[in-house]
Amino acid sequence: MMTGRDRPPFTAGISSDLPSSARHRAVTASEIDRLEGRDVSTHTLKASTDRGRAGDKIFSGISLTAGILILAVLFSVAVFLLVQAAPTFTADPTEITGGNGFTSYILPIVIGTVIAAIIALVIATPIGIAVALFISHYAPRRLARAFGYVIDLLAAIPSVIYGAWGYIVLAPQLAKGYTWLAENLGWIPFFTGPASQTGKTMLTAGIVLAVMVIPIITSLSREIFLQTPTLHEEAALAMGATRWEMVRMAVLPFARPGIISATMLGLGRALGETMAVALVLSPGALGASLIRTGNQTIAAEIALNFPEAFGLRLNELIAAGLVLFVITLIVNMIARFIITRHKEFSGAN
């Protein structure tokens, strides 16, 4: 029986007319070329793999550096606010603005900030979601594209423009309505008179903030609505659901985390807005009425008084900024908690 060692070399594809020595040399050269080609291919694949690993390491390092940089900036801002605000917490209460300590000074401003933000969200959230639904599921394609451009443009307008519009156009028009509210609904604490004759009230500030927040909520909600799986929508329609029932059963549950994120982002914009509020709000003592002159927000308080502040007054304003920083951080944490609870509706699931 012939063993593998005794078998003649493979001569497929080699002309039988050649002498045996020539055929042997041809087969040997062919095998060498094939093995060398395999070595070259292996070497090329290994080099490509090494380059891919190097690219992954570089990208991973850049991402890690960016994450650390964000945390470092956040930490440095917190440390700066704490160090600069410390004299306010240790000073004599009579030296603080108002003469009753920092808590009595900052609490009315915090309440004013929250009230303005709540007014803005109450107005902006339903309008923003409704506009987003219209653009994504009801409007014709060309009209939806035009509306999307307009919404993005509104989101890019500087806040000082909104403030100037509110001061020059909106406030004088609302002053007439405030007078009517005071005369007919004055028994409601929010509409207690006398109404402001200039229209520069907390309600005006809330409306201006709502106009500024609507593009943010609309733009983000629209993108989330458009990511709803088509199979979910078609399944709802196939079962006989109307367009609204399809939106209610398929689109809104899927987009719930995104809507919450958009709303919280709008809330952050409303809490930290400065120039628009400073232009349309006449500062004063805290009051329940939204149509009277008075109330103030943290951001507007800092913007109006910071240029002339020095000494302990400067520390007071920085301490007010620290309070706003904490409020914003708490709002973001609450939003993250809510989104985590509803993560089963995310696109990944």
| Contact in structure between 246 and 237 (CB atoms under 8 Å) | yes
Greatest C-alpha distance within the chain: 119
Q: Please identify which residue in the block is written with the tokens 């308080």.
A: 301
Q: Distances from the Cα of 133 to the Cαs of 18, 115, 209, in angstroms?
A: 81, 27, 22
pLDDT at 126 over 90: yes
Percent of the chain with pLDDT over 90: 11
- Sequence-distant (6+) residues with CB within 8 A of 84 are 314, 315, 318, 319
Distance of CA 229 to the CA centre of its chain: 22
Q: What average pLDDT does the segment 179-207 reach?
A: 86
Q: From CA 303, how far away is CA 273, in angstroms rounded?
A: 10
In terms of Cβ atoms closer than 10 Å to its own Cβ (0-12, 13-18, 19+), residue 132 is buried
- Identity at 131, one-letter amino acid code: V
pLDDT at 344 over 80: no
Using DSSP's 3-state secondary structure scheme, residue 168 falls into helix
pLDDT per position as a tens digit, 131-168: 999 998 888 888 888 888 888 888 888 888 998 999 99
Q: Determine the Cα–Cα distance for residues 241 and 175; give it in Å rounded to an integer.
A: 46
Alpha-carbon span 284 to 308, nearest angstrom: 19
In contact, 343 and 257? CB cutoff 8 Å = yes
d(CA 338, CA 349): 17
Q: What is the C-alpha R_g of the chain?
A: 34
Tokens of 155: 């989101």
pLDDT of 345: 47
- Record the pTM: 0.76
Q: What is the pLDDT of residues 77-107, one digit of tens each?
A: 989 999 988 888 888 888 888 778 888 888 8
Q: What is the distance between the alpha carbons of residues 104 and 97, in angstroms, rounded to a whole number?
A: 9
